[in-house]
Amino acid sequence: MPLSKVQSNSILDGAIAASDLASSLNLTGKSITLPTGVGGKVLQIQQETQWIASEVQVSVGSSYNWSTVTITPISNNSRIILFSNPQFFTRSSDGGSYANTHIFADDITNNVSVKLNEWINYSDNRATTDGLRLRYPFIQFFNNSVTTQRQFRLRAYANGPNTSRIGGEHQVTTMCIEIAN
Protein backbone atom coordinates (compact mmCIF):
# COMPACT_ATOMS: atom_id res chain seq x y z
CA MET A 1 0.00 0.00 0.00
CA PRO A 2 1.61 3.29 -1.05
CA LEU A 3 2.17 6.06 1.44
CA SER A 4 -0.46 8.68 0.67
CA LYS A 5 -0.45 10.88 3.73
CA VAL A 6 2.05 11.94 6.39
CA GLN A 7 0.74 13.68 9.48
CA SER A 8 2.99 15.59 11.82
CA ASN A 9 2.63 18.46 14.23
CA SER A 10 6.28 19.45 13.87
CA ILE A 11 6.78 19.99 10.13
CA LEU A 12 7.50 23.69 10.19
CA ASP A 13 10.72 23.75 8.18
CA GLY A 14 9.79 21.17 5.54
CA ALA A 15 11.70 18.39 7.30
CA ILE A 16 10.19 15.22 8.73
CA ALA A 17 11.90 13.86 11.83
CA ALA A 18 12.27 10.10 12.17
CA SER A 19 10.22 10.26 15.37
CA ASP A 20 7.29 11.61 13.31
CA LEU A 21 7.11 8.42 11.28
CA ALA A 22 5.69 5.10 12.40
CA SER A 23 5.66 1.84 10.49
CA SER A 24 4.06 -1.52 11.03
CA LEU A 25 5.15 -3.03 7.70
CA ASN A 26 5.88 -6.73 8.23
CA LEU A 27 7.67 -8.53 5.37
CA THR A 28 8.22 -11.83 7.16
CA GLY A 29 7.84 -14.63 4.61
CA LYS A 30 7.22 -12.17 1.76
CA SER A 31 9.38 -10.88 -1.06
CA ILE A 32 9.54 -7.57 -2.88
CA THR A 33 10.08 -7.42 -6.63
CA LEU A 34 11.74 -4.25 -7.82
CA PRO A 35 10.70 -2.83 -11.18
CA THR A 36 12.91 -3.44 -14.23
CA GLY A 37 15.71 -0.94 -14.52
CA VAL A 38 16.40 -0.65 -10.81
CA GLY A 39 20.04 -1.60 -10.37
CA GLY A 40 23.33 -0.31 -9.16
CA LYS A 41 23.84 -2.74 -6.29
CA VAL A 42 27.53 -3.43 -5.72
CA LEU A 43 28.13 -7.14 -6.32
CA GLN A 44 31.88 -7.21 -5.64
CA ILE A 45 35.06 -5.15 -5.59
CA GLN A 46 38.51 -6.35 -6.66
CA GLN A 47 41.59 -4.16 -6.35
CA GLU A 48 45.32 -4.02 -6.85
CA THR A 49 47.62 -1.56 -5.12
CA GLN A 50 50.99 -0.63 -6.56
CA TRP A 51 53.78 1.51 -5.07
CA ILE A 52 55.80 3.41 -7.67
CA ALA A 53 59.07 4.29 -5.96
CA SER A 54 60.55 6.63 -8.56
CA GLU A 55 59.68 8.43 -11.78
CA VAL A 56 59.12 6.21 -14.80
CA GLN A 57 59.94 7.55 -18.26
CA VAL A 58 57.98 6.16 -21.20
CA SER A 59 59.57 6.41 -24.66
CA VAL A 60 57.59 7.77 -27.59
CA GLY A 61 55.39 5.07 -29.11
CA SER A 62 55.51 2.95 -25.94
CA SER A 63 53.06 2.33 -23.12
CA TYR A 64 53.23 2.04 -19.36
CA ASN A 65 50.74 -0.41 -17.83
CA TRP A 66 49.54 -0.07 -14.28
CA SER A 67 48.57 -3.19 -12.32
CA THR A 68 46.06 -5.51 -13.94
CA VAL A 69 42.93 -6.26 -11.93
CA THR A 70 41.32 -9.66 -12.41
CA ILE A 71 37.62 -10.08 -11.69
CA THR A 72 35.27 -13.03 -12.17
CA PRO A 73 31.80 -11.49 -12.52
CA ILE A 74 29.03 -12.87 -10.31
CA SER A 75 26.32 -11.86 -12.79
CA ASN A 76 26.05 -12.14 -16.57
CA ASN A 77 23.98 -8.94 -16.57
CA SER A 78 26.17 -6.34 -14.87
CA ARG A 79 28.59 -3.50 -15.40
CA ILE A 80 32.24 -3.28 -14.42
CA ILE A 81 33.55 0.07 -13.23
CA LEU A 82 37.32 0.50 -13.66
CA PHE A 83 38.77 3.13 -11.32
CA SER A 84 42.39 4.21 -10.97
CA ASN A 85 44.23 7.24 -9.55
CA PRO A 86 47.73 7.49 -11.10
CA GLN A 87 50.14 10.38 -10.72
CA PHE A 88 51.98 12.10 -13.57
CA PHE A 89 55.11 14.21 -13.54
CA THR A 90 56.31 17.15 -15.60
CA ARG A 91 59.10 19.72 -15.18
CA SER A 92 60.58 22.76 -16.91
CA SER A 93 63.82 20.93 -17.78
CA ASP A 94 61.70 19.15 -20.39
CA GLY A 95 62.04 22.49 -22.22
CA GLY A 96 59.49 23.59 -24.75
CA SER A 97 58.82 20.01 -25.71
CA TYR A 98 55.83 18.05 -24.50
CA ALA A 99 54.76 14.47 -24.13
CA ASN A 100 51.10 14.40 -25.16
CA THR A 101 50.46 11.32 -23.03
CA HIS A 102 47.21 9.48 -23.79
CA ILE A 103 45.43 7.51 -21.07
CA PHE A 104 43.50 4.34 -21.94
CA ALA A 105 41.22 2.03 -19.97
CA ASP A 106 41.94 -1.48 -21.27
CA ASP A 107 39.54 -4.40 -21.20
CA ILE A 108 42.36 -6.90 -21.75
CA THR A 109 40.06 -9.92 -22.03
CA ASN A 110 38.10 -8.46 -24.95
CA ASN A 111 41.00 -6.49 -26.45
CA VAL A 112 39.13 -3.18 -26.07
CA SER A 113 40.83 0.13 -25.27
CA VAL A 114 38.93 3.31 -24.44
CA LYS A 115 40.80 6.62 -24.61
CA LEU A 116 40.07 8.63 -21.47
CA ASN A 117 42.38 11.63 -21.78
CA GLU A 118 45.06 13.34 -23.88
CA TRP A 119 47.74 15.96 -23.28
CA ILE A 120 48.86 14.72 -19.88
CA ASN A 121 52.48 15.78 -19.10
CA TYR A 122 52.43 18.95 -21.20
CA SER A 123 55.44 21.09 -20.26
CA ASP A 124 57.01 24.34 -21.38
CA ASN A 125 59.68 26.70 -20.05
CA ARG A 126 57.18 28.12 -17.53
CA ALA A 127 56.67 24.80 -15.74
CA THR A 128 58.03 24.36 -12.22
CA THR A 129 61.76 23.67 -12.15
CA ASP A 130 61.68 20.84 -9.63
CA GLY A 131 58.66 19.15 -11.18
CA LEU A 132 54.93 19.09 -10.83
CA ARG A 133 53.12 15.91 -9.84
CA LEU A 134 49.40 15.67 -10.49
CA ARG A 135 46.97 12.87 -9.71
CA TYR A 136 44.18 12.13 -12.12
CA PRO A 137 41.21 9.97 -11.09
CA PHE A 138 40.03 7.89 -14.06
CA ILE A 139 36.72 6.01 -14.21
CA GLN A 140 35.36 3.90 -17.06
CA PHE A 141 32.25 1.69 -17.29
CA PHE A 142 32.26 -1.61 -19.21
CA ASN A 143 29.18 -3.74 -19.93
CA ASN A 144 29.38 -7.34 -18.77
CA SER A 145 27.47 -10.41 -20.01
CA VAL A 146 29.69 -13.27 -18.78
CA THR A 147 30.62 -15.00 -15.52
CA THR A 148 34.13 -15.93 -16.65
CA GLN A 149 37.32 -14.18 -15.59
CA ARG A 150 38.02 -10.73 -17.04
CA GLN A 151 41.06 -8.45 -16.76
CA PHE A 152 41.28 -4.66 -16.78
CA ARG A 153 44.01 -2.04 -16.42
CA LEU A 154 44.85 1.61 -16.97
CA ARG A 155 47.57 2.41 -19.52
CA ALA A 156 49.61 5.51 -20.42
CA TYR A 157 50.74 5.81 -24.05
CA ALA A 158 53.53 8.25 -25.00
CA ASN A 159 52.20 9.80 -28.18
CA GLY A 160 55.23 12.09 -28.51
CA PRO A 161 57.10 13.97 -29.58
CA ASN A 162 58.84 13.60 -26.20
CA THR A 163 59.09 11.22 -23.25
CA SER A 164 56.08 10.73 -20.98
CA ARG A 165 56.59 10.65 -17.24
CA ILE A 166 54.80 8.68 -14.56
CA GLY A 167 55.30 10.41 -11.22
CA GLY A 168 57.20 8.52 -8.57
CA GLU A 169 56.83 8.11 -4.83
CA HIS A 170 53.13 7.34 -4.82
CA GLN A 171 50.64 4.54 -4.41
CA VAL A 172 48.19 3.76 -7.19
CA THR A 173 44.99 1.87 -6.47
CA THR A 174 43.18 0.25 -9.38
CA MET A 175 39.73 -1.18 -8.69
CA CYS A 176 37.10 -3.11 -10.59
CA ILE A 177 33.64 -2.76 -9.12
CA GLU A 178 30.89 -5.03 -10.43
CA ILE A 179 27.43 -3.51 -10.17
CA ALA A 180 24.04 -4.97 -11.06
CA ASN A 181 22.27 -3.55 -14.09
DSSP string, 14-33: S---GGG-------TT----
CA distance 30 to 87: 50
Give me the percent of the chain exceeding a pLDDT of 70: 67
Asked if residue 134 is part of any domain, the answer here is yes
Domain that holds residue 132: 40-180
Asked if residue 26 is part of any domain, the answer here is no
Decide if 69 contacts 46 (C-beta within 8 A): yes
Say which CATH number the domain at 163 has: 2.60.120.760
Asked if residue 16 is part of any domain, the answer here is no
Asked if residue 18 is part of any domain, the answer here is no
CA distance 109 to 141: 15
Q: What size, in residues, is the chain?
A: 181
- 79-128: per-residue pLDDT in tens? 999 999 988 876 666 555 666 789 999 999 999 999 999 887 666 556 66
User: Quick one: pLDDT at residue 1?
Assistant: 43
- Total domain count for the chain? 1
Asked if residue 86 is part of any domain, the answer here is yes
Lowest-pLDDT choice from 3-7, 20-24, 61-65, 88-92: 3-7
- 116-157: per-residue pLDDT in tens? 998 876 665 566 666 677 788 899 999 999 999 999 999 999
Instruction: Say if residue 3's pLDDT is above 50.
Output: no
Higher pLDDT, 16 or 87: 87
Asked if residue 49 is part of any domain, the answer here is yes
